[in-house]
Amino acid sequence: MNSPKIPLWRNSRVLSFVSQAIALGLLVGFLVYLGHNFSQNTQRLGLSFGWLFLFDRDRPTSFAIGDSPISFQSTDPYSRALLVGLLNSLRVVVIGIIFASILGLGLGLARLSDNWLVKKLSGIYIEIFRNTPLLLQLFFWYFAVFLRLPKIDAPLNLGDRFFFSNQGVYLPFPVFNLRTGLAIMGILLALWGLLYGLWQSRHHWGEGYRRDRLLQLSWGLLMAITIIWGIDWQFPRYDAQVPALSGGVSLSPEFATLLLGLTIYTAAFIAEVVRAGIQVVPQGQWEAARALGFKSGLMMRLVIIPQALRVMIPPLTNEYLNLIKNSSLAIAIGYNDVYAITSTIANQTGKAVEMLLVVMASYLLLNLGVSALMNQLNRRVQIIER
């Protein structure tokens, strides 16, 4: 017996297809309306839309960039200026993520410490920096700290190795030669031995574990000795006649302010992610590790942290993405990141829409790249169900 035919207006598949088609049509119509409106406005104002001006060498930037990781002159095209801004943003983001992760991990563990003073001090740090605006913190570090450093004619000197002035921070930097290359190879070898020893210690106990710990200590000492004495370091030098500082690597007050502000601010949030991730591990895991005779450090490294990572990585990804987006506040203190440079180009050329798309694409690609890496890490640490 044939089943009765369902009317089209009651067929769920048809209704679902029609509703999606209507939604898609409305979206396309809205985009067409925006495009038509944009085209009419640009014609009315006598503006043109295009990207060729970025590569036109007959149309130089005619502005200087003080903090540039690559060579840049005011006669270079706008594309070169955008590359400088993107590299400046990448420099802050990469270093900031590394430093904020290290500081946040330490603060998160301190929040769970049995030491009353350490626990309270870390709690005060977190509450202060989490509950004050980042822009206000950047202004504090810039105007109240870095611009208040001694002038260049009398810089703050720490052991003739580190110099601090209101024109920047001067630090030692490796000289890239044969000696430094061999030292880097030794550091990589020591790092591989250290990581391999950590992995081996997961499977050895008793004498085997103590032997692995001794090897780890040896590899760590070898790496530290190679970094200190193996690398050919170039140290800053102060010339009192000029006066000026040369050699080493210099960090401008703007870069140092942004890096310090982002690191301290983001580390406060990462600390809470670490604390929550550790506390979510069932109490039975702690008791089982103690029953097996694990010391606190070994228990944290082999039992607690691997399980906490499964909870920590998703919110940790959000904090990294927030750090990338917060780096756009560099324009407030005069650091030439990609957002600040696109704003300058838009003011000079009138290409506001093009520059807006460039800066949106830059932050979008940065965030998608970090998200992809963190998602890959998240898949690696998850428990694979059989």
Task: Answer yes or no: is 59 within a domain.
Answer: no
Examine the domain organization and report whether 191 and 229 are in the same domain: yes
Cβ within 8 Å of residue 54, ≥6 positions away: 77, 78, 79, 82
Examine the domain organization and report whether 256 and 309 are in the same domain: yes
Residue 202 has pLDDT above 60, yes or no: no
Residue 1 has pLDDT above 60, yes or no: no
The band of 162, judged by pLDDT with boundaries at 50, 70 and 90, is: confident
Residue 157 has pLDDT above 80, yes or no: yes
Examine the domain organization and report whether 200 and 220 are in the same domain: yes
Cβ within 8 Å of residue 233, ≥6 positions away: 172, 173, 174, 175
3-class secondary-structure state, position 169? strand
Q: Of the ranges 9-13, 74-78, 88-92, which is most confident?
A: 88-92
Average pLDDT over residues 106-133: 92
pLDDT given at position 3 = 60
Distance from C-alpha of 80 to C-alpha of 96, rounded to nearest angstrom: 24
Task: Answer yes or no: is 73 within a domain.
Answer: no
pLDDT given at position 2 = 58
Task: Answer yes or no: is 46 within a domain.
Answer: no
* Exposed / middle / buried, residue 170 (Cβ in 10 Å: 0-12, 13-18, 19+): buried
Examine the domain organization and report whether 161 and 89 are in the same domain: yes
* Exposed / middle / buried, residue 283 (Cβ in 10 Å: 0-12, 13-18, 19+): exposed
pLDDT given at position 201 = 58
pLDDT given at position 211 = 59
Residue listed under structure tokens 């692995």: 212
Residue 96 has pLDDT above 90, yes or no: yes
The alpha carbons of the chain give a radius of gyration, in whole angstroms, of 28
Q: Which two tokens stand for residue 236?
A: 């800053």
CA nearest neighbour of 303 among 289, 287, 290: 289
Q: Pick 299 or 198 by higher pLDDT.
A: 299
In this structure, what are the phi and psi dihedrals at residue 287, rounded to the nearest 5 degrees?
-65, -40
Percent of the chain at pLDDT exceeding 70: 89
Examine the domain organization and report whether 163 and 177 are in the same domain: no
Examine the domain organization and report whether 277 and 377 are in the same domain: yes
Task: Answer yes or no: is 186 within a domain.
Answer: yes
Examine the domain organization and report whether 253 and 121 are in the same domain: yes
pLDDT digits (tens, 9 = 90+) for 216-263: 666 667 777 777 677 777 888 887 777 777 777 888 899 999 999 999
Query: Residue 377 belongs to what H/E stretch?
Result: helix 352-381
Residue 285 has pLDDT above 80, yes or no: yes
Please tell me the total count of domains within the chain.
3
Examine the domain organization and report whether 286 and 363 are in the same domain: yes
Task: Answer yes or no: is 29 within a domain.
Answer: yes
The band of 309, judged by pLDDT with boundaries at 50, 70 and 90, is: confident
Examine the domain organization and report whether 26 and 134 are in the same domain: no
Using an 8 Å Cβ cutoff, are 271 and 284 in contact?
Answer: no
Residue 204 has pLDDT above 60, yes or no: no
User: What is the extent of the structural domain holding 199?
Assistant: 173-234
pLDDT given at position 270 = 95
Residue 298 has pLDDT above 90, yes or no: no
The widest CA-to-CA distance across the chain, in whole angstroms, is: 105
Q: Pick 150 or 230 by higher pLDDT.
A: 150
pLDDT digits (tens, 9 = 90+) for 21-74: 999 999 999 999 988 888 888 778 777 778 888 888 888 888 888 888 888 888
DSSP letters for 217-244: HHHHHHHHHIIIIIS-EE--EEETTTTE
Examine the domain organization and report whether 109 and 153 are in the same domain: yes
Examine the domain organization and report whether 192 and 277 are in the same domain: no
Phi/psi class of residue 248: alpha, beta or left (left: φ > 0; alpha: ψ in -120 to 50)? left
Residue listed under structure tokens 């520059």: 355
* Arithmetic mean of pLDDT over the chain: 84
The band of 192, judged by pLDDT with boundaries at 50, 70 and 90, is: confident
Examine the domain organization and report whether 133 and 260 are in the same domain: yes
Roughly how many angstroms between the first and final C-alpha of the chain, as a whole number?
A: 45
Q: Pick 268 or 303 by higher pLDDT.
A: 268
pLDDT given at position 383 = 67
